[in-house]
Structure 1
């Protein structure tokens, strides 16, 4: 099992960074012909983050980049991660988890929103004309780490060695050790309907006390349906970094769901329980008040993998130059 101290792993991107109070989520599609620009940006991403964040060390600025299944072969000359595939659309009896476009994910985090904005602006300045924006969400920490439904979010996140073991790929896919998979979804909340419920009704849907955040006995609750166990009976974990977002003026409120995992199958099983049901429960009742409007799966390569992407274009250019030289030599013979 990998850990945050396992020397055999390639250096991961900062997926294990502590939760922050601000975030920016950018989901992009790569325009035809934009691949070289994207590769160059991905190779420079860590340096770009350091430049923007250098003068503000207390801001804890970080960025994680993910690549979608359809874009992988366009951007990477080589093997694919073993479990990289498009997001699985789910259609339940009452609720739908759509699969939506996304070739690139940039998950930008900081203790200050202006730092997220600054780094996001630099990324988009570099990519302008090479990509199209599929989705952009500004997330914020709400009150005492609560979502806009009023409940604390992320309580069950693993920490330390357990987090690394749950999130980082090990020797099961050695070419991509230190990488991770991430699924993102944007949920829109019907807060008017939610707030018409009593606190007790809300707690039965979530599976926790709203005031104290302690788990309660609530069959079929969100907590219960998202508790996944392996063949050995041990609970299987993912790392969530969900963030609230909203616009009081337009009346749009929601949660941006983002879950990192060593294998996407764990997150996908959670989503199947939510949307398709489990046992006697037809669906997660939180979906009666929260509608998924996006859904995409990405692979998060190790940091060094991104830095090497620019070499592909140099090698291609070098090979093309050598080929041209060979043709010219033949003409002069």
Structure 2
């Protein structure tokens, strides 16, 4: 089994999420950098092992075809906008995503600076979010986030690609979204209304009983159970973020899964509703402003990526005598 990127690393206190686009003509520089990524991470993290610095790099569908020749991950595709009667999950540009985690922000910042510096003009940053861990792992809405994340073997099974796509085993699909919250509207709601929107008690983080929990609560709509009773899981590494200057307060959603269809089903149930029109109550105060899907290949893949696609060259026409500077010979 190849070595995965650190998608299963423990939740941290700080994170930086960078979404990049590869500029036209920058493909070779990005391809050449991939084997160097691990060394850059080690060069920063070695000096501060207590920070637990990690980096996950994901590659989007369009960029994959520009960077590599040969097969591609079986379930990789561009993120498709999801639209319901009143809400939507937009699709926004993104060729690469960097998910940097550490105990404090400055190692993430230094690593982000070095990576983007190495890539130079080959890429352009289109979104940057610096996340922080809030009071006892709560989001800005006041609820503990990530309570139902799988652990141990269950986490590996939920997150890492296996025998179903052996050429890309140990990879993971990463779906990211940036949500902005209307905290004034949210905080004006009674605590009971907020608990019914989420599906958990606010104080002790206990899930509401089936009798108490509304069917359009966040917990109810993001719980996927197959007909045979199997619950489908993903790994969430969401982070709060905010800007006092811009008046922006939100949650950055980062969901890892072996099958991106599971995450997309959750989002569809949230936005469209189940049944349609019965959408997630949280979306009354929270809206997605970005959305993109990436594949985070194994560390082994990044260390020795497949060759890059070579664009076809235009056919060369045979030179004429005039092109060669040879005049016509005429008998005089």
Q: Above 0.5 in TM-score?
A: yes
TM-score in terms of structure 2 length:
0.90
Q: Does 1:210 align with 2:202?
A: yes
Partner of 1:147: 139
Match of 1:33 among 25, 28, 31: 25
| 1:234 CA drift (Å) | 1.3
- Secondary structure at the aligned position of 1:224 is classed as helix
Higher share of residues assigned helix: 1
> In the TM superposition, what is the alpha-carbon distance from 1:132 to its structure 2 partner?
1.2
Aligned partner of 2:321 in structure 1 is none
CA deviation map 1:72-127 (0-9, x unaligned): 01111110100000102011000011000000010000001000000000011011
Taking structure 1 as the reference length, the TM-score comes to: 0.90
Q: Measure how far apart 1:20 and its partner are.
A: 0.2
Report what 1:12 is aligned to.
4
Q: Structure 1: how far apart are the matches of 2:265 and 2:213?
A: 20
- Alpha carbons 1:104, 1:298 under 8 Å: kept: yes
Distance 2:119 2:127 in 1: 15
Q: Partners in 2 of 1:53 and 1:154 — Cα distance?
A: 26
The one-character-per-residue Cα deviations of 1:225-272 (angstroms, maximum 9, x if unpaired) are 000012321111000000000012321100000000000010000000
Alignment partner of 2:36 out of 24, 30, 44: 44
**How far apart are 1:279 and its partner, in Å?**
2.5
Q: CA deviation at 1:307?
A: 1.0
- Does 2:258 correspond to 1:258? no
User: 2:84, 2:275 → 1: CA distance?
Assistant: 14
- 1:164 equivalent to 2:159? Answer no
Give the superposition deviation at 1:312: 2.8
Q: Match of 1:296?
A: 292
Segments ≥4 residues shifted beyond 3 Å: none
**Cα distance, 1:277 vs. partner?**
0.2
1:54-74: CA deviation from partner (whole Å, max 9, x where unpaired): 010110000000000010011
| Aligned counterparts, 1:1-333, within 5 A | 9-216=1-208, 217-219=212-214, 220-279=216-275, 282-309=278-305, 312=307
Unpaired stretches in structure 1, ≥5 consecutive residues = 1-8, 321-333
Q: Deviations over 1:170-192 (max 9, x none)?
A: 11001001111010000000001
Superposed CA deviations along residues 111-148 of structure 1, whole A, max 9, x for unmatched, are: 01000000000011011200111111000000110000
CA RMSD, aligned part only?
1.4
How many residues align structurally?
Answer: 307
CA contact (8 A) 1:25 1:107 kept: yes
Q: Is the 8 A contact 2:84 2:277 kept in 1?
A: no
Inter-partner Cα distance in structure 1 for 2:157 and 2:79? 23
Cα displacement (A) at 1:281? 5.5
Alignment gaps of 5+ in structure 2: 314-332
CA contact (8 A) 1:245 1:255 kept: yes
Partners of 2:120 and 2:182 in 1: CA distance: 35
